[in-house]
Structure 1
Amino acid sequence: MKRRAWLTLGAVVLGGGGIAGYAVASPSTDGAGGPAERPVKVYNLGLKAPETGERELPRTETKQFSLLGISWTGATKQLDGKAQVRTRSVDTGTWSSWQDLETDADPVEDADERAGARGASEPLWVGPSDGVEVQVVHEDGTTSAGLPSGLKVNLVDPGVTAAEADAATEPAAYAEDVTPSPTAPSPTATTPAGPASNVPEPPIVSRADWGADEDLSPDPSEYNTDVKAVFVHHTAGSNDYTCAESASIVRAIYAYHTAPAPNGNGWNDLGYNFLVDKCGTIFEGRKGGVDQPVLGAHTYGWNRESAGIAVIGEYTAAGASNAALTSVARIAAWKLGQYGVDPASTVQLKAGATQKNLAGTSFTSGTSYPFSAISGHRDGYATECPGNSLYGQLPTIRAWAAGPVQGLKVTSLTGATLSGSTYWTKGAITVKWSTTTPGSLISKFELLVDGNVVTTVPGTATSANTTLAAGSHKVAVRAVHQSGKTDEKSTTTALTVVADTTAPVFATTPKLTLRTGTVETAAVPVTLGWKATDAQALKQVNLTSPTTATFGPTITSSNRTAKSGAASTWSMTAYDVAGNTRTSSPAFTPLILQETSATKSGTWTSRSSSSYLGGKSYSSGTKNASLTWTFTGRSAAWVVSRASTSGQAYVYVDGTKVATVDLKSSTTKYRQAIWTKSWSSSAQHKIKIVVVGTSGRPTITTDGLVYVK
């Protein structure tokens, strides 16, 4: 962590203004470079009135502070004007741009009981700073006559707790953005446990854990009868804080509110019952027990029947994070749930003051008015709080807090294949889903099969597994809100999932047969044929050896080539849509029989050329000259050379004439499988070719016979 210098200043005297409340000795940094433990400090600087009629504080060097605000004499007085501040960063030494302070803070309701209590702006967190400049202008911009007296800027150094000092000595990787550990409140002899809620209590960081100096709030807590509504606020100030600073911010706001005047506002405690940072950490605010209906000071005129929740930061232009919204929804639902109030309901609140809200609605003290159970500060008082953007997010907070679960949808179904509108599986499936309602507000998810709950998982889960029995099923997911609410949208549309464990079959085992084409010793033209079927739905058939290919469910053949003289395994796997498989792996060997292996009759002439199989062939123009090959196999092809002068031949199979083949071709071709024959099984066969003696072109040239065994 970066070392930060602590300025050792005495009282800073301003011409015509106030002085610093005290001087502070210089705490040292510890040996690891982190800050040493030091207490919270609050002090003030007075504003002077220049000739312009404004109130201002020129650029002034100060002790270190991280939060500031302006205050004035008279706790019930309002500042009708604009207040702006600039600060100098301890880290960089640079001055910030002008920042507005929110001056429409609620007046103090018990001001007559708080001697010296002051009116004040909302505090502004600026981070470690050592200089300040302030200007305050009346709303007419010309005179200070309407500004309250005793204007001061209050500066707060939140100090460093022992726990924070210890954490700072850890390596940076472990100290970054660490929030205090939550602790559950416990009843005492004088503070019994509050009523049980109908939803779970979220984790809450106690006052002790964020470092509250209870000496600043000596008065006993006051309690309401119940809590009918919660008002949502923002603390204003910067959103650039880290979540590791959140406890310091809460501590600083507390000191700003409670430090004795004139250094602080002289109030009796934090105004808010709870505070939430942008990472979703919930802090205990006003003392008295988080499970009690503690009287707060957050929404003027409406504190007697409500609780206040403030989101740390400023949310006029930018909305609060989902983490913050989630925690506001959780704490609001829990607190309202203690008194049976539906967070989505409308409640009646009795006005404690005659006033108007930001929208101009008038309220008369003692009269009851309708409010949303989760309302914004501006709904009850004339203030911009909680900012336009956060105010626009209140419907989301209400929906999340009240339930039922929103935005539930199945995002994927793994272990199954979608075909049309039906999923197919071998049995084991994983269903995944998403919701717009955060998981911490969801009690559980139920996986339904045919309307029955088969698996239950926590509300933070996003998937569930099950294994289906064979057959067709309807699969859905149901979400149960922490309130127990469900509706028709809390259950997804059922998916049709068929569990199938029966593998496909090869009705026709893969077979290799010869086809016409050019014959090479390394590439004999063949046709691979098969037929796969499935009781449910065939997806595809894959050829995996001696090469690879994928075929659709209706394809039953493919033209390929095979190497002669070598046995090859033709392995095929059939897949159904459920993922079941069947593999068949027959082996076939194409062999070439040269013409010299045939039995001859009549006159034949041997020819030599590299264009012939084996370099040689036989030719004959003698009518009835013949060649006969005997082999054992399941498919055969006669291989010839062709030209424009080639003649015709008869083909006999096992003694029966089956074809007359014309070898004539407009172009010269060699090694042509011109005639083929296949059988259902392997057996011994005789193929005989006989020269027809065609007039004008009697000669035929044979290049052998190819067969498959």
Structure 2
Amino acid sequence: MIVALSTIAPVAAAAVAFVVVSGPSSTASPATQPPAPGQVNTLALRDLPSGESGGSGKRSVQGLPAAATKPFSLLGVSWDNAHEAIDGAVEVRTRAAASGTWSSWRPVEAESDDLPDAGSRTDRQARGATAPLWVGPSNGVEVRVTGKSHTLPRGLRLELVDPGNGKRKTGVRAAGAQLGDVTLAGAVSTTEPDAPADPASEPSPSTVDTPPPAEPATTPTPATQPATTPAATPTPTPPAPPSPSASPKTTPTPTPKVTAKTLAATPASTAPRPAIKTRASWGADESLVTDPPEYAPTVKEVFVHHTDGVNTYSCADSPAIIRGIMLYHVKTNGWNDVGYNFLVDKCGTIFEGRAGGIDRPVIGAHTLGFNTSSSGIALLGSFNEASDPAPSTAALEAISKLAAWKLGLAGGNPTGKVTLTITADNGKFKPGSYSFNTISGHRDGYATACPGTKLYAALPTIRTTAKQWTTPVTSLALSTITGATKVGSTYYTKGTVSLGWTARKAALLRYEVVVDGKVVSTPYTTASSASVTLATGSHKVQLRAVNINGTTATSPTYTVVTDKTAPTFSPQVSLGIRSGTVATTGVMPVSLRWKATDNTLLRSLKVASPSKVTLSTTATSWAYTSKNQAWNTWSVTAADAAGNSKTSSVTQSAALQYESSAKRVGTWKTTTSKSYLGGSILYSTAKTASATYTFTGRSVGLIVKRATNTGAFTVYVDGVKTSTVDSKASATSYRNIVWTKSWTSSAKHTIKIVVAGTAGRATVATDGIAYVK
């Protein structure tokens, strides 16, 4: 059925170049949509009565009442005479296809200020036209063109552009294309290969190219133009003679051009090449391009533009926006191809524009009078009104990179000046030579607001950033080495380290990670880190920056030791009785003992249980206490500088055996006091009197009373005389462990003390033993 709007007047049949929409648009997902080529549909504008225009009858008003249309996403208004201009305002409002809601009135730039040079062979502007306006998927429109004078250009019509889905029908090959890596007009492709013919294998328009490899010192000379017949394109309607009030913008003057056959090989740029999406990736319809590209001898200037249109677009829509602009430039303006050499979206994605080779001095149609020897970079969106956003950081960075690389192909200085010559009046400049910044705004070369106040204000930043991309690196250092521990000037790792440095906007081909004199990794120029896995052993690591001009900068040498072996314990952790005083509550002094070593460097030593203590890496024991009969897990963790660790643990208990359990020979007496273990103690003054303790354990200590009048005794272990101990002290002390012994394993043992009978102080007082089970 025919979609109609009951509240608007129907459009006269004679004024409509196509029928209105018949039914809803397809709801198929993009992955399943069949190939849909873009198209431009037109509606002739007609005189509007004052009631429809909203203005007085003294001004010329043409337009269209609100009407349903075929789907479109971009629009503009064109007229017969390319040398005429609309002296007035063009306004539109559109109906969104998804919601059916109408937008507010939007202005359309009344004059397209992206123009080919006068006398250009391929860009024969057949019609005058406004700038294209991206409005997003729509199916309804209302237009009004209000002139300040009594007349408007003849042949006014509305151009509605459906960009299609960027897919080609199987078996259809782009005009001028042929097999291999040769693209339209024989220009050698320097980006990515053409998209496959099978729609199912088309690249996703939103996929961003990976950073390019280092460019060669020279680029092969372009092949000759393919001998294919270009697809037929309807001959544009010749322009009507100018009205008496119209004056030509320029006087066509032939400009000598360089052909693909005579074009010199492209040298390496002084800046790295950014990732650039090819025409195939955004679905350029190459059948629209019927003539080969034209070349200048070189590119020494970059003009920055904006495309106008909404700023709220999704970056996934960027390919469709560019297809729409190309259709408008070719089918409405009558040009041979899209006018810009490159386009950039707000996400910072760079797209190849006009065909002919991204590294070639292709003459575009963007800055009237100065297209030769310049390259046009257009940012999608509008940046002129106070309500417009500022250009995104990603977009400015992309423009800077692209301008640096493009100018660098001819050795241009992004912050310098250049002289350009114009051969015909373009409305701002008379024929002659003029000085420009090498990166300029469109308004610098033509009477226009482009690229908008906010983008124009960012040009100084673009220039200085671009300059950084042409400046070689002269010094370099690593800022971090993660995955490793630094001890002194040496780094220790288990094997994989991440090297970090400050990424520089510089004229770099690549970074190189050098290990022991060999390149093991080549990070991209925008990288700021690289991971490297190293074999066991000591290595010399460096970072090297390789500049485009062949010079290098190398960081200091860093020593990195790879160690995958954990520390060892020999002997393992064990618990023993140590000298000291036993508390009346039975808490006794103990010592945890071990020996930890590492094959490279022991970094830390910690007691993990029963308490947490950090020790010196040279420590072999730790003094602590244990309650009587309490079982504990005793563990120590050793870690080396590389982060390998080892824990040694043992579960043991310390116990007390009171003097009452001793087997006594000779005269022994008992005395009591709260100062003694268990409240009592054995003592003897008889020489050769003995007391024997029997226990099962791996460490033992004798507990005695010490005083000025206590004497010596002999110690026998398992029947063997081991030592003589003198218990004399300058002051009386109780529950003292004065002698200890330990074994490597637990076993049954006997400890016998024999009174030595020291003259004048023969007394020996025993209070029991402490032992580890």
Task: State the TM-score, normalizing by the size of structure 1.
Answer: 0.71
Q: How does 1:430-509 map to 2 (within 5 A)?
A: 430-437=497-504, 442-448=508-514, 452=517, 454-459=519-524, 462-465=529-532, 467=534, 475-481=541-547, 483-484=548-549, 491-492=554-555, 494=556, 496-497=558-559, 499=561
In structure 2, the CA distance between the partners of 1:207 and 1:675, relative to structure 1 (3 Å rule), is: closer
Q: What per-residue deviation string (whole Å, max 9, x for no partner) do you get for residues 629-656 of structure 1? A: 457976525289x9xxx99966746454
Q: Is the 8 A contact 1:455 1:466 kept in 2?
A: no
Q: Is the 8 A contact 1:106 1:299 kept in 2?
A: yes
Q: How does 1:148-187 map to 2 (within 5 A)?
A: 153-163=158-168, 177=206
- Is the aligned partner of 1:86 residue 2:96? no
1:309 is displaced (CA, Å) by: 2.3
Q: How does 1:252-291 map to 2 (within 5 A)?
A: 252-259=324-331, 264-278=332-346, 281-290=349-358
Q: Choose which of 367, 371, 381 in structure 1 pairs with 2:446.
A: 381
In structure 2, the CA distance between the partners of 1:298 and 1:16, relative to structure 1 (3 Å rule), is: same
The aligned residue for residue 365 of structure 1 is 431
Q: Is the 8 A contact 1:221 1:287 kept in 2?
A: yes
- Is the aligned partner of 1:598 residue 2:662? yes
The aligned residue for residue 591 of structure 2 is 527
The aligned residue for residue 424 of structure 1 is 491
Gaps of 5+ in 2: 171-195, 213-219, 228-259, 716-723
1:395 is displaced (CA, Å) by: 2.8
The aligned residue for residue 691 of structure 2 is 628
Q: What per-residue deviation string (whole Å, max 9, x for no partner) do you get for residues 73-130 of structure 1? A: 6534555766554322110122334544445642645678888844433322111112
Q: Which moved more, 1:36-45 or 1:495-504?
A: 495-504
Q: How does 1:576-587 map to 2 (within 5 A)?
A: 576-578=640-642
Q: Is the 8 A contact 1:649 1:661 kept in 2?
A: no
Q: Choose which of 51, 56, 61 in structure 1 pairs with 2:55.
A: 51
Q: Is the 8 A contact 2:700 2:741 kept in 1?
A: yes
2-structure distance, mates of 1:121, 1:156: 13
Q: What per-residue deviation string (whole Å, max 9, x for no partner) do you get for residues 353-387 of structure 1? A: 55798xxxxx5522142432x44333333444334
Q: Is the 8 A contact 2:404 2:467 kept in 1?
A: no
In structure 2, the CA distance between the partners of 1:607 and 1:328, relative to structure 1 (3 Å rule), is: same
Q: What per-residue deviation string (whole Å, max 9, x for no partner) do you get for residues 403-457 of structure 1? A: 436997645313421246x343268552423554589x8532223469x554341
Amino acid at match of 2:512: E
The aligned residue for residue 558 of structure 1 is 622
Length, aligned pairs only: 659
The aligned residue for residue 125 of structure 1 is 134
Q: Choose which of 376, 381, 392 in structure 2 pairs with 1:313.
A: 381
In structure 2, the CA distance between the partners of 1:164 and 1:549, relative to structure 1 (3 Å rule), is: farther
1-structure distance, mates of 2:126, 2:287: 17
Amino acid at match of 2:66: T
Q: Is the 8 A contact 1:447 1:464 kept in 2?
A: no
1:305 is displaced (CA, Å) by: 1.1
The aligned residue for residue 233 of structure 1 is 305
- Is the aligned partner of 1:394 residue 2:393? no
1:176 is displaced (CA, Å) by: 9.0
Amino acid at match of 2:320: S
1-structure distance, mates of 2:743, 2:154: 113
Q: SS at 2:728's partner residue?
A: strand
- Is the aligned partner of 1:542 residue 2:606? yes
In structure 2, the CA distance between the partners of 1:268 and 1:708, relative to structure 1 (3 Å rule), is: closer
Amino acid at match of 2:701: A
Q: Is the 8 A contact 1:302 1:380 kept in 2?
A: yes
Amino acid at match of 2:520: T
Q: Is the 8 A contact 2:498 2:531 kept in 1?
A: yes
Amino acid at match of 1:351: I
Identity of aligned residues (%): 36
1-structure distance, mates of 2:4, 2:501: 56
2-structure distance, mates of 1:590, 1:95: 89
1-structure distance, mates of 2:109, 2:27: 40
Q: Is the 8 A contact 1:516 1:675 kept in 2?
A: yes
Q: Is the 8 A contact 1:273 1:308 kept in 2?
A: yes
- Is the aligned partner of 1:20 residue 2:22? no
The aligned residue for residue 367 of structure 2 is 299
2-structure distance, mates of 1:653, 1:273: 104
1:549 is displaced (CA, Å) by: 4.6
2-structure distance, mates of 1:253, 1:548: 71
The aligned residue for residue 668 of structure 1 is none
In structure 2, the CA distance between the partners of 1:318 and 1:497, relative to structure 1 (3 Å rule), is: farther
Amino acid at match of 1:380: G
Q: Tell me how large the CA RMSD over aligned residues is.
A: 5.7
Structure with greater proportional strand content: 1
In structure 2, the CA distance between the partners of 1:82 and 1:675, relative to structure 1 (3 Å rule), is: farther
In structure 2, the CA distance between the partners of 1:496 and 1:678, relative to structure 1 (3 Å rule), is: farther
Q: SS at 1:227's partner residue?
A: coil
2-structure distance, mates of 1:233, 1:107: 9
Q: SS at 1:304's partner residue?
A: coil
Q: Which moved more, 1:75-84 or 1:56-65?
A: 75-84
Q: Is the 8 A contact 1:27 1:38 kept in 2?
A: no
In structure 2, the CA distance between the partners of 1:426 and 1:15, relative to structure 1 (3 Å rule), is: closer
Q: SS at 1:251's partner residue?
A: helix
2-structure distance, mates of 1:6, 1:497: 78
Q: Which moved more, 1:498-507 or 1:344-353?
A: 498-507
Amino acid at match of 2:510: K
In structure 2, the CA distance between the partners of 1:423 and 1:382, relative to structure 1 (3 Å rule), is: farther
Q: Is the 8 A contact 1:257 1:266 kept in 2?
A: yes
Q: What per-residue deviation string (whole Å, max 9, x for no partner) do you get for residues 642-672 of structure 1? A: 9xxx9996674645423349778xxxxxxx8
2-structure distance, mates of 1:540, 1:383: 71
Q: Is the 8 A contact 2:67 2:142 kept in 1?
A: no
Task: State the TM-score, normalizing by the size of structure 2.
Answer: 0.66
In structure 2, the CA distance between the partners of 1:468 and 1:21, relative to structure 1 (3 Å rule), is: same
Q: SS at 1:253's partner residue?
A: helix
- Is the aligned partner of 1:705 residue 2:756? no
Amino acid at match of 1:350: T
